[in-house]
Chain A
Amino acid sequence: MALPKRIIKETERLMADPAPGISATAHEDNLRYFDVIIAGPTQSPFEGGVFKLELFLPEEYPMSPPKVRFLTKIYHPNIDKLGRICLDILKDKWSPALQIRTVLLSVQALLSSPNPDDPLANDVAQHWKENENAAIQTAQEWTRKYATA
Chain B
Amino acid sequence: MAAAHKIPTHLSSLADILGPDVDVATLEKLHSISNGDLSRAINHFYEGTYHNAPAPAARAPAPAPAPVARSPQRPRPPIDNGITIDDLNKAPVGSGSVSGAKGSASKKRKFQDSFFPKFLGELTIIAYALGGMVKVQAGEQVCFERTRPNPQHQLGRKKKGSGMGWGARAFKENNVVRFTKQNGFEIGRLQVDTARWVSKLMDYGLAEFQGTVLLAPPSLRTGAEIVLTMKCFLTAAAFKTLGSSDKTAGLSKANMSVMNEALETEDEIDLKHRKYAVNALFRELALTPIATNTTVGPRDKGIELFSSTPEAGSSPTLNDGTDDKEEEPEVSEKELDVLYEKAQQHGREFAPMDAPNTMTYTLKQYQRQALAWMYHKECSETTQGHETLHPLWEAYEFQKEDGREPRSDEPSRYYLNPYSSEMSLEFPTSDQLCRGGILADEMGLGKTIEILSLVHANRMDRSTIDTPEEAFARLSTSTSKEQRRSSPTTLIICPMSLLSQWRDEAINSSDGSLKVEVYYGMSRGWTDESLMQQDAPDVLITSYGTVMSEYSSLIAGRDPETLKPKNLSTLDDIKTQDIWKKGSALFNVEFHRVVLDEAHQIKSRMTKTSKACYAINSPRRWVVTGTPIQNKLEDLFSLVHFLRAEPWSNFSFWRTFITIPFESKDKDKAMKVITSVLEPLVLRRTKATKDDDGNPIVQLPERSIEIEYLKFSEQENDIYQALFKDGKTKFNHYCRAGTVLRHYASIFQLLMRMRQVCDHPLLVVGRNKPTDSSETGLDIKDGPVHLEELMAKFSNGGNQSDSLFGASVLQNLMSTTGEVPECPVCFEDMADGVLMPCMHAACRTCVLEYLQMRDDKGEKGECPICRQGPVTEADLIEYTTTEVAKVKAEDLDEKRTDVVAGNVLTGDSSTNNRVVQMRRNNFKSSAKLDALMRHLNQTRKTDPKIKSVVFSQFTGMLDLAGAILERDGFCFLRLDGTHSQVSRANTLEAFKNPDHPATVMLISLRAGGVGLNLTAASHVYMLDPWWNYAIEAQAIDRVHRIGQTRTVVVKRFIIEDSVEEKILSIQNRKNALASGLGMTKVEQQGARMEDLQEIFS
Contact = CB atoms under 8 A, between A and B. Distances in A.
Interface of A: 4-6, 9-10, 62-63, 95-97
20 contacts: A5-B826, A5-B827, A5-B828, A6-B826, A6-B827, A6-B828, A9-B827, A10-B827, A62-B825, A62-B826, A63-B849, A63-B850, A95-B850, A95-B862, A95-B864, A95-B865, A95-B867, A96-B824, A96-B846, A97-B825
Contacts of B849: 63
B852 to A, nearest CB: 9
**Of B827, B849, B867, most A-chain CB atoms within 10 Å:** B827
A130 B864 CA distance: 38
A96 B827 contact: no
B824 A97 contact: yes
B825 A96 contact: yes
A97 B826 CA distance: 9
A96 B828 CA distance: 13
B853 A97 contact: no
A105 to B, nearest CB: 16
A62 B827 CA distance: 11
Given A10-B827, A63-B853, A97-B824, 8 more contacts: A4-B826, A6-B825, A6-B827, A95-B850, A95-B864, A96-B825, A97-B825, A97-B865
Interface in B815-840: 824-828
Q: How large is the interface on B (under 10, 10 to 19, 20 to 34, 35 or more residues)?
A: 10 to 19
B862 to A, nearest CB: 8
Interface string B892-920: 00000000000000000000000000000
Q: Which 4 A-B pairs have the closest CB atoms?
A: A97-B864, A6-B827, A97-B865, A96-B825
A41 B824 CA distance: 28
Contacts of A5: 826-828
Contacts of B853: 63
B955 to A, nearest CB: 39
Interface string B854-876: 00000000101101000000000
Nearest to A98: B864
Contacts of B867: 95
Contacts, number: 30
A5 B850 CA distance: 17
Contacts of A4: 826
Contacts of A63: 849-850, 853
A9 B867 CA distance: 24
A5 B825 CA distance: 11
Contacts of A9: 827
A97 to B, nearest CB: 4
Interface string B169-186: 000000000000000000
A82 B680 CA distance: 97
Contacts of A6: 825-828
A95 B867 CA distance: 8
Contacts of B865: 95, 97
**Of A62, A63, A97, most B-chain CB atoms within 10 Å:** A97
A95 B846 CA distance: 12
Nearest to B825: A96
Interface in B381-436: none
A10 B826 CA distance: 10
Contacts of B826: 4-6, 62
A96 B846 CA distance: 9
A112 B828 CA distance: 34
A6 B826 CA distance: 5
A111 B1019 CA distance: 80
Contacts of A95: 850, 862, 864-865, 867
Contacts of B824: 96-97
Interface in B906-943: none
A122 to B, nearest CB: 28
Contacts of B827: 5-6, 9-10
B359 to A, nearest CB: 75
A43 B850 CA distance: 38
A95 B871 CA distance: 14
A10 B825 CA distance: 11
Contacts of B864: 95-97
Contacts of B842: 97
Contacts of B825: 6, 62, 96-97
Contacts of A97: 824-825, 842, 864-865
A77 to B, nearest CB: 26
Contacts of A62: 825-826
B389 to A, nearest CB: 74
B575 to A, nearest CB: 55
Nearest to B859: A92
Interface in B791-836: 824-828
A75 to B, nearest CB: 32
A6 B849 CA distance: 15
Contacts of A10: 827
B751 to A, nearest CB: 27
A22 to B, nearest CB: 19
Nearest to B852: A63
A9 B828 CA distance: 9
Nearest to A93: B867
A17 B827 CA distance: 16
Contacts of B828: 5-6
**Of A5, A9, A10, A62, most B-chain CB atoms within 10 Å:** A62
Nearest to B840: A97
**Of A5, A9, A96, most B-chain CB atoms within 10 Å:** A96
A86 B849 CA distance: 26
B699 to A, nearest CB: 68
Nearest to A9: B827
B599 to A, nearest CB: 55
B841 to A, nearest CB: 11
A95 B853 CA distance: 11
A5 B843 CA distance: 14
A123 B878 CA distance: 52
A67 B853 CA distance: 18
Nearest to A63: B853
B729 to A, nearest CB: 16
B618 to A, nearest CB: 65
Nearest to A62: B825
A22 B865 CA distance: 23
Interface in B521-573: none
B83 to A, nearest CB: 88
B817 to A, nearest CB: 20
B594 to A, nearest CB: 63
A104 B842 CA distance: 23
A76 B827 CA distance: 34
Nearest to A13: B827
A94 to B, nearest CB: 10
A5 B829 CA distance: 11
Contacts of B846: 96
A5 B823 CA distance: 12
Nearest to B866: A97
A95 B849 CA distance: 12
A62 B865 CA distance: 13
Nearest to A7: B827
A96 B842 CA distance: 11
Contacts of A96: 824-825, 846, 850, 864
A97 B850 CA distance: 10
A62 B842 CA distance: 14
A99 to B, nearest CB: 9
A4 B826 CA distance: 8
A63 B867 CA distance: 14
A4 B849 CA distance: 15
Interface string B952-981: 000000000000000000000000000000
Nearest to B847: A96
A63 B856 CA distance: 12
A92 to B, nearest CB: 8
A63 B825 CA distance: 9
B839 to A, nearest CB: 14
B848 to A, nearest CB: 11
Nearest to B857: A92
Interface string B626-649: 000000000000000000000000
